[in-house]
Each structure stands twice: as structure tokens, then as C-alpha cells.
Structure 1
Amino acid sequence: MTNVLPDHAHLWRSPLLPDAELLTAQYYAQEFAPHWHDGYSIPVIQSGAQRYRYRGTLCLAGVGSIAAINPCEIHTGERATEHGWAYRAFYPSVEWMQQLASSMAGRTVDVPWLTDGAIHDAELASQLAQAHQLLEAGSDPLLAESALTRAFALLLSRHTRNRLPVQATHADTLRVERMKDRLVADLSLPLALSELAAAVDLSPFYAARLFSRTVGLAPHAWRNQMRLNRAQAALRQGQSVTDVAALLGFADQSHFTRHFKRAFGIAPGRWRL
């Protein structure tokens, strides 16, 4: 038999998603016995397909679909193709999901209930997979937490049993300016979205939404642009590309070069000449 996915699983945790686990896995032989999770199970199928029994129905989740399971609901899981299946999964807590839903609504709401059966939403699956990859990489907490918040907000806005209202965003120039100050306070240090939001007494969801709608860029994108603008000045002064990348908090020289060229159309080494 060829092209069979060998059973392998990598479980880890991230401080950006508290009281939760994340899993990157692929299975062929694995057959999950009936079980439940205290929190949610949000797996995004990356290859193959999974068959699972959930709430009295035999469900099928193929590539690009989400086999979402609500808390404390018994379910199974097994391959639905001759090669197996691979997925990236989040296991967020009930408290985290309810907190996000409440911050979206602008008031305390009940624990959200996700729609039954596999979710077929290509945009959502892509956003969830990207957030999962960023959390696993662990290199930019502001970008990763922003992607996480955006993806789960999209899930809750589109795929809950009762439509979740989203509060209006009101102009707040003072808070936006305070966020800008926090973003540039030390560009060499990592900063999480939750830290930025706490500095202005807002939820991560609302802080990111307010900043993006006011400024025209997400907080992580605005911060990166500030880094790049300051990099131009440092390069003009003759500092090396390596030193500038480290000074301004880029993960490495290649990461800096990629962002610089994308913004200005030229590599930082050539800008320095």
C-alpha cells in the first residue's frame, strides 16, 4: 500500500490560547473510541478525510472542512480514505470561547453552540490553518494572536446555532494613539495583542477592530511598517542589515529582507549602498 500517512501527532500549548491544547496530527490506523472534550474541538482537515459519528449522525469532513465538536459532546473519528487523514486542531476552553463571543457582542452572552456536522467554509478553514501555523511557529505573538482572534471571530459570526450580533465600532482617537505609542515603545521586543488591548482597557477583538478600522492597517502590520521605516534610516547611517534586523525585532535577516523588499521593492542590502 502506498502513500499511507503514518500515525503521528504533535501536541503543544501556547500562552496566546490559555487553558487549551493544539494538535498537528496525521493518522491512518487510529480509530478514536467514543469520547468527549470539556472544551471545544476545532480540527481543520489538511489532507484525506475523516469520518466521525456525532450527535446521532455519521459525518464526513474532507480537505478544507472543519469537523467542529461542541463541549462535552460524544464523538468518534477514523479515516474515510485509503490513505488516512491529516489535520490541525484547536481545543479552546468554554471560557475563552464565551469571552470572545461576549467581546464581539459587547455584552455577556451564553456559551456559543457551533452548528452540527462538518463546516464547509474555505475562507474560515484557511484563516484557522494560518493561525494554527503561526501559533506553532511562535515567532510573532502580535501577528499570531491577531490571526487567532480574527479566525475564531469569523467562526463565531458564521457558524453558531444562534446568530451572534457584533457590536458597532465607535471612533476613539485617544485609545488608538495610545495603542500606537505602545506598539512603538520598544520595537525589538515581542508584544501580544492581549497586552496591547489591556493597555487601553479593551478586549483583543475590539482593540484590533478599532485600530484596523481607524488606521487602515492591523496592529501587527502597522508595527512592521514602523520597523521598516526606522530600518531605512538605520541603513542610511551605514548599519549592517544583520544589526538592523536584530535591533528592530525581526526574527532573522531573511524575515527582515522579505518584509523590506515587499514594502519598498528593493533588498535592504541595496538600500544601504
Structure 2
Amino acid sequence: MDVARLFRHPLLPETDLLSAHYVEHTFSPHWHDCYVVPVIQAGAQLYQYAREQHLAVFGSIGVINPGEVHTGMRAGDDGWTYRAFYPPVSYLQKIASDLAGKPVEPPWFPLKVIHDIPLAQELLKAHLLLEQQFPDWLEVETRLYQAMSVLITRYSGIAPVDETSKPIRHVAWMKEVLSSRLEDSLTLEQLAAETGLSAFHAARMFSQQVGMPPHAWRNHLRLNRSLGMLKQGQSISATAAALGFTDQSHFNRHFKRAFGVAPSHWKAA
């Protein structure tokens, strides 16, 4: 049975996001005025693109450039399962310009089927986070921006300019912003704007100098602050809400991952 869900997220208001499993459906020749970035999760898809036939299997990323006619059909009896991004040209062009440190033309991807399991996994993680009702905006934007940056630099030939030699005060200031806005739905673009860096270079500089991306560092700061709040008798739900976790289960999951026990067990001890 064919199942498909098309949705959007406020972080990407002009980007369609598709999660689908197709067995019977066959896409007739068509084209988009945006990019198509699908990641195969299971099965295999056969498609015609650039006057050639291509096969996308588990872990494949079949990037379709804007305006290019293509089809789509199953390559086996079980069909294929995939998640796809449909970002506008302006979105990938902005990331490419951030990478290059100057305005550039929209990236072009000559390779029709990309076999890059680590990159495919990062794109899938970002897609899954975007499907959640209340994701951590900083985390999902950082993951998506970094994954798209890798896609562009590795497969469209746009090389990033090196800004990692800029003063360490940029990272210190980002930490200050993150610390003062623990409960906010802060985005990577907003964080980068505080330093005058592009989103790509802000995330890369922070990760290289701190050892983890901004969203992970902020979550650990939240967790460390939660210990004092729980010790003072504040409830787990109130602590989670005060520190900006999306809900109590989100807090519980991060707490146990960091400290080895659930907040309730730590509080009781």
C-alpha cells in the first residue's frame, strides 16, 4: 500500500518535506522549480533523469537539480521508502554563498546518485526532527545546515572559505547568548547574527573550539543547571519547562543520556 505525508516546518516555510512509501505509484515525467533531495530508507527506486536511468538504493541520495525532467518507480516488488526535501533555489544558494564567503550562483550537482551513508544519516536525522511537533529549533537547524553544507561542498564543488582563525571571542559571545536564552526557540541564524558570522561558519567555529555543536552545548548547560533546581525541590516538569526543554520526556531523555539515570532517580537519591 502506498503511504505518503507532505508537511512543512516554520524553520523552512517554503520547503516541502515528504515522507513516503511507494509500491504501486509511478511518477510520470515531471520537473520542479526547486531542488529535490531524497534519501532512500529502504527498498530501491528506479528513475529516469538527464536522459539516463538511475538506481537509488538504501542510503542513496538522489539529488535532482531545478528544472530537470525526471520520473520515479519501484525497482523491486517491495517498492521504496524515502524522505525528501524540496528546498527552494534561494535556500541552497544562500548556504553556498555563506560557504564561499561571497555571493555565488546556485549550486549544481553533476552526480545523479550519491552514495554517502554518513551524510544520508545526517539528512534523515534533520528530516525526522522537522517532523516532530516541538523540536529544538537550534538543533534541527544546525543539523540541517551542516548536512546541506556537506552536500554542497562535497558534491557541487563549492569550497568553503576558512574563517576558523577569527578571534575566540566569537565563541565566547555565542556561549553568552546561549546561556542567557536557555528557554528561547533560538535558531542558528539568530545565533550567528550575534557574531557577524554566517550560520555555517558560526556552527563550524563553535564545534571546532568547544568540541560539540551549539545545541549540544546548550543542552548540557541546561542539564547542569537542572541539578541545582532539582536539589532545591523543584518538580521535574517545572525544571524542564524553565530550562527550555520541549517537554518532560525530552528532558528525561537528555538527562539519562548525560548522567546515566532518570531525573526522578537522581532526585530521590
Following the alignment from structure 1 to structure 2, what is the Cα–Cα distance between the partners of residues 93 and 18? 10
CA deviation string 1:45-89 (max 9, x = no partner)? 111111110001011101110111001000011111111111100
Q: Which residue of 1 aligns with 2:208?
A: 213
CA deviation string 1:132-191 (max 9, x = no partner)? 10111141111100110111111112112xx22111122323322221122122322221
Within the candidate set 123, 137, 148, 2:144 is matched to: 148
Cα offset, 1:18, TM superposition: 4.2
Q: Which residue of 1 aligns with 2:100?
A: 105
Asked if 2 retains the 8 angstrom alpha-carbon contact of 1:171 and 1:214, the reply is no
Q: Which residue of 2 aligns with 1:171?
A: 166
Q: Which residue of 2 aligns with 1:133?
A: 128
Q: Which amino acid aligns with 1:165?
A: A
CA deviation string 1:80-101 (max 9, x = no partner)? 1111111100011111111111
Q: Which residue of 1 aligns with 2:83?
A: 88
Following the alignment from structure 1 to structure 2, what is the Cα–Cα distance between the partners of residues 271 and 207? 35
Query: Structure 1: which 5+ residue stretches go unaligned?
Result: 1-5
Matches within 5 A, 1:2-13: 6-13=1-8
Q: Which amino acid aligns with 1:211?
A: F
Cα offset, 1:15, TM superposition: 2.6
Q: Which residue of 2 aligns with 1:3?
A: none
CA deviation string 1:181-208 (max 9, x = no partner)? 2212232222111111122222211111
1:222 aligned onto 2:252: no
1:40 aligned onto 2:74: no
Superposed CA RMSD in Å reads 1.4
Asked if 1 retains the 8 angstrom alpha-carbon contact of 2:111 and 2:155, the reply is no
Following the alignment from structure 1 to structure 2, what is the Cα–Cα distance between the partners of residues 82 and 15? 37
Q: Which amino acid aligns with 1:94?
A: V
Relative to the length of structure 1, the TM-score reads 0.93
1:263 aligned onto 2:258: yes
Cα offset, 1:31, TM superposition: 1.1
Following the alignment from structure 1 to structure 2, what is the Cα–Cα distance between the partners of residues 96 and 16? 11
Most deviating of 10-19 and 127-136? 10-19
Q: Could you say what secondary structure the match of 2:6 adopts?
A: strand
Most deviating of 220-229 and 106-115? 106-115
Q: Which amino acid aligns with 2:229?
A: A
Following the alignment from structure 1 to structure 2, what is the Cα–Cα distance between the partners of residues 172 and 17? 31
Following the alignment from structure 1 to structure 2, what is the Cα–Cα distance between the partners of residues 253 and 198? 30
User: When the two structures are aligned, how many residues end up with a matched partner?
Assistant: 266
Q: Which residue of 2 aligns with 1:189?
A: 184
1:115 aligned onto 2:110: yes
Q: Which amino acid aligns with 1:231?
A: S
Q: Which amino acid aligns with 2:141?
A: E
Cα offset, 1:219, TM superposition: 0.4
Q: Which residue of 2 aligns with 1:159?
A: 155
Cα offset, 1:244, TM superposition: 0.9
Query: Structure 2: which 5+ residue stretches go unaligned?
Result: none
Q: Which amino acid aligns with 2:204?
A: R
Q: Which residue of 2 aligns with 1:16?
A: 11
Q: Percent identity over the alignment?
A: 50
Relative to the length of structure 2, the TM-score reads 0.94
Q: Which amino acid aligns with 1:147?
A: R
